[in-house]
Amino acid sequence: MNPSRIASRQQRGTTIRLLVVLALTLALGLVLVSAASALRFTDDSYLVPEGTVGEYYAHEFTGEGGCGPPYAFQVLSGALPPGLSLTGDGLLVGVPTQAGSWSFWLELSDEDPPSEPGCIPKKSQRRFTVDVVAALGITTASAPPATLGTPYSLRLSAQGGSGTRTWSIASGALPPGLTLNSASGEISGSPSAAGVYEFRVRVSDGSRLGSKQFTIPVREPLVAHAHRAPPAEVGIPISPLNVAASGGSRSKSWRLEGSLPRGLTFDTTDGAITGTPGVAGIFLLNAIVSDSEGRSADVHLALVVNPELALARTSLASASIGRPYHARITASGGVGAPKFELLSGRVPAGMRLNATGTLTGSPRTRGTKRFVIEVRDKLGASSRGIYVLMVR
């Protein structure tokens, strides 16, 4: 073959190979330029943190690629969580005011006009979601009072936050004998010392904290007492009959089950029964005391009201001069052993009336004697009667 033709062919082959390499290089360059100039949100933009109602929130959306910074951001549609706003440079900031899940579309814009010649400004849109949870807080209103030596249980409750809750005592101390379950939030046990105990309980979900102050008063058991009610009498004021209570809280009130006789009243403040009974009988009562912390106790009473003291209105048998005489003056009703007394007039000579109401002796003179006898009982009640004795 002609040497000049061979050289020509080799030159053409070299040229073709150079063109192919150039084409591939241009194509690869275009791809690299295209990839480098793609506008997008950074990966960190997608790591949107959870918000909490009432707590400061901040998250920055950032961009990369395109014609480069500065980048601009705006909300295209949807709604930001109430209390949050988006700045033009992509900072979502504020204090959320409402719990919920909030979705919205953001638009990312690159530098416009671009500082690099030949770069075409672009926009990118993405959908984001911000979850806002309620603040973690203890919802139990208060701790009920406790009683010494009596089993106690209170399960604390909380709302808001997320995840597993853990309970602890932040300050102060529970009453001796009580413990707090860190997993369930239950305070339980049997108090072993009286007193008023203040403490602060803390609850955590791992990222949030809530706390609340509580007070548990521990009292001695509430017990009602009453002395045996002394017998009463119709028409005679009774000595104030007081029921009493020990233990419990200071503030107490009383109520009475059963009916008092007419004329008596029951004081619900101090448990005193006072007045003047107007009817006889046996009255079964139950006095119940309650304290301001919900405890109660009771005591049974039996009130006996005797009929009014009265002399028996009987006539006396006549007596004979010089002969022994015996008569018994009697009374009904009243309280205790009655005592009799000659109030006015005279019994026949040779006779006498003793304190038990017995009229005895041997009259020495004939005639008719008129006299007044009075009887008194233990409560001071009295009754009088006129008696006539004839001596033959």
Position 20 scores a pLDDT of: 38
Q: Which range of residues forms the domain containing residue 150?
A: 137-219
Asked whether the CA dihedral 111, 116, 122, 128 is positive or negative, the reply is negative
DSSP bridge partners of 290 = 253, 296
| Count of C-beta atoms within a 10 Å radius of residue 363 | 24
Looking at the structure, tell me whether residues 61 and 48 fall in a common domain.
yes
- Assess contact for 190 and 175: CB atoms under 8 A: no
The answer on 161 and 78 residing in a single domain is no
334 plus 316 within the same structural domain: yes
State residue 239's pLDDT score: 86
Measured distance between the N- and C-terminal CA atoms of the chain, rounded to whole angstroms: 200
* Lowest mean pLDDT segment, chosen from 23-27, 66-70, 92-96, 343-347: 23-27
123 in the same domain as 50: yes
Residues 218, 175: Cα–Cα separation, whole Å: 8
Same domain, 66 and 87: yes
Q: How many C-beta neighbours within 10 Å does residue 122 have?
A: 18
- H-helix segments, 37-173: none
Domain count, the chain: 5
- The residue behind tokens 């014609």 is 67
122 shares a domain with 44: yes
| Residue where a domain terminates, one of 166, 189, 219 | 219
CATH of the domain at 359: 2.60.40.10
- By the 10 Å C-beta count (0-12 exposed, 13-18 middle, 19+ buried), 94 is classed as middle
Taking only the tens place, the pLDDT of each residue in 124-157 is: 999 999 999 999 999 999 999 999 999 999 999 9
Residue 311 main-chain phi, psi, to 5 deg:
-75, 145
> What is the mean predicted confidence (pLDDT) over 62-72?
94
Q: Do 52 and 29 belong to one domain?
A: no
| pLDDT higher than threshold 90 for residue 255 | yes
Instruction: Return d(Cα 157, Cα 141) in angstroms, integer.
Output: 9
| C-beta separation of 202 from 137 below 8 A | no
Do residues 128 and 102 touch, judged by C-beta distance below 8 A?
A: no
What does the pLDDT look like over 91-104, one tens digit per residue? 999 999 999 999 99
Average pLDDT on 67-90 reads 96
The answer to whether the beta carbons of residues 261 and 279 sit under 8 Å apart is yes
Q: How does residue 12 score in pLDDT terms, banded at 50, 70 and 90?
A: low
- Residue 327 pLDDT > 90: yes
Instruction: Decide if 51 contacts 57 (C-beta within 8 A).
Output: yes
- Report CA-CA distances (Å) from 127 to 45, 168, 336: 11, 40, 99
Do residue 52 and residue 126 come from a single domain? Answer: yes
Together in a domain, 170 and 117: no
pTM, two decimal places: 0.65
Q: Pick from 132, 150, 185: which residue ends a domain?
A: 132
- Phi first, then psi, for residue 18 (nearest 5°) are -65, -40
For the chain, how many residues are written? 392
Do 300 and 315 sit in the same domain of this protein? no
- Bond preceding residue 240 cis, omega within 30 of 0: no
pLDDT at 36 over 70: no
For 183-206, what is each residue's pLDDT tens digit? 999 999 999 999 999 999 999 999
Domain shared by 290 and 336, yes or no: no
Whether the pLDDT of residue 30 is over 60: the answer is no
Of 132, 158, 175, which one is at a domain's C-terminal end?
132
Residues 251-255, mean pLDDT to the nearest whole number: 96
152, 146 contact by CB (below 8 A)? yes
Residues 238 and 161 in one domain: no
CB 282 within 8 A of CB 304: yes
